[in-house]
Amino acid sequence: MSGLQTDARQSTGPLLEITDLKTHFATERGLVRAVDGVTFTLERGKALGVVGESGSGKTVLSRTIMGLLTARGVELSGSVRFAGQEILGLKAKEMRHIWGREMAMIFQDPMSSLNPLMKIGRQIVEPLQIHLDMPSDDAKATAVRLMKDVRIPEAERRLEQYPHELSGGMRQRIMIAIALACGPTMLFADEPTTALDVTVQAQILDLIGEQRRDRNMSVILVTHDLGVVAGHTDEIAVMYGGRLVEKAPTKTLFANMKMPYTKSLLRSIPKLDEPSHTRLATIPGRPPDLVNPPKGCRFAPRCAYARDRCHEEEPVLEVAEHPEHVYRCFYPVGSAEFEERDEQVKAELAREAAAVRAAADQAAADSAHGDVPLAAQLMHGKDI
């Protein structure tokens, strides 16, 4: 145990090196390739955002790295090096010294992720006693300090409370306190704000960022929301169909995204500066079937810019102008082929937007005259 601890804190080189990582699930339908050959490294103290739709493999990726997927029917291959040591395939017994102590995870739903029948104090104290052998008084004092770190008011009183007595935001703070308890070097946050109110989301993300800087901890932030990672990560990895499709430093990515998929993800976030009634861009179709993924580029069937080659041949990761920017596309954003097609796409979008606006204006005018009931307008909205 102690050997690994000194390794993680003192060894040089990247904290996490993932090479050709694959997580496949044997099911009755066939082999589900949830994570299919992912490679990246993460430096210590850095935050990586892993972005993708549901079913892109982002949650499975984070759980695989942490070694939490050990059920039967799970096939793992590739390599996960943590602080220079290979940890993929280690038994739960060997991983237990890493879990909670070197690597910690914050789960998506604070409502279901805390033990409903255990007092909050005991849930925070538990890792302290397991990993650091802290006597119970010290552990309690540490728990109170941790709760204050994550800005939980009346920390002493909360020790004796149960999760159901706290709000969602407070419970997520408790989860963060539990995760931070033993001072991990690596924190996984799996959709940490998805289940929370919008007003609380920013607070939680800021809190994670602040703790990362204070503790020089690496963070992998898993989310479906590009907006969440924009202000809170150093790098972004975009996943699609179990593959890494684009990865770049956060600023570079937003300034110069290459994958049409990344662009569509960004477009599907509503923007405040657009006129009202602008139709929210969606990505047509559904994420690929991970048992029988498409032959060529996995995004091609849903891509407005796909050409014949995209359906036949899968692109490899290309390096962009920035050396740390990689993407998996034959006709990336900015290429001549992309621009040519983009003219058509934009024209189509503009036509659609104009039609929607005209319909809205018409409806407003009609209702001003009062000759068409509102319900009828709504029902026939598409035809107007």
Partner 1 sequence: MRYVSQRLLQFFVVFIVVTFIVMVATRIGSADPVRDLAGGAVSDQQIARVLNDYPYLDQSLFLQYPQWLLDFVTGNLGYSYTQSQSGLAMFQQRLPPTLFMGFWAIVIGLAIAVPVGVYSAYKRDGAFDRGASYTSFAFISMPPLVIAVALLFLVVTRTSLFPTVGGSSYIAPWDSPWGHFRNFFIPSLALGLGLAAVWSRFLRADMNLTLQSDFIMLAKAKGVSPARVLWRHALRSSVLSLITSVALQVSALIGGAVVVEQFFGPRGIGDRLVFAIQQNDILIIQAITAVLVVGVVLANLIVDLLYAVVDPRIRHARKLG
* Chain residues in the site for partner 1 (CB under 8 A): 66, 68, 92, 96-101, 103-105, 107, 109, 112-118, 126-127, 130-131, 162, 164-165, 175, 178
Of 113 and 264, nearer to partner 1 (C-beta) is 113
CA 207 to centroid of chain Cα atoms? 17
Cβ closest to partner 1, residue 27 vs residue 115: 115
Q: Calculate the CA dihedral of residues 201, 206, 209, 213 and round it to 10 degrees.
A: -160
Q: Which is nearer to partner 1, 35 or 363 (CB)?
A: 35
Shortest spacing between CB 90 and partner 1, in angstroms? 13
Q: Output the CA angle 253-254-257, nearest 5 degrees.
A: 55
CB of 370 to partner 1, least distance (A): 49
Minimum CB distance to partner 1, residue 65 (Å): 12
CA torsion, ordered 365, 370, 371, 374, to nearest 10 deg: 80
Instruction: Identify the helix (H) or strand (E) that includes residue 1.
Output: none
CB atoms within 10 A of CB 276: 6
**Closest approach of Cβ 317 to partner 1, in Å?**
30
Nearer Cβ to partner 1 (159/297): 159
Name the minimum Å distance from CB 103 to partner 1.
8
Question: Would you say 104 or 146 has its CB closer to partner 1?
Answer: 104
Tell me how far, at minimum, the Cβ of 53 lies from partner 1, in Å: 21
Smaller CB separation from partner 1, 178 or 244: 178
Query: Biggest alpha carbon distance in the chain?
Result: 80
Helix, strand, coil in percent for the chain, rounding step 5 = 40, 20, 40
Q: How many other CB atoms sit within 10 Å of the CB of residue 130? A: 16
8-state DSSP, 372: S
**Rounded to the nearest whole angstrom, what is the least distance from the CB of residue 178 to partner 1 in the complex?**
7
H or E element: which one contains 3? helix 2-10
Residue 64 or 250: the one with the smaller Cβ distance to partner 1 is 64
What contacts 24+ positions apart, CB below 8 Å, involve 142-146? 142/181, 143/177, 143/181, 146/177, 146/180, 146/181
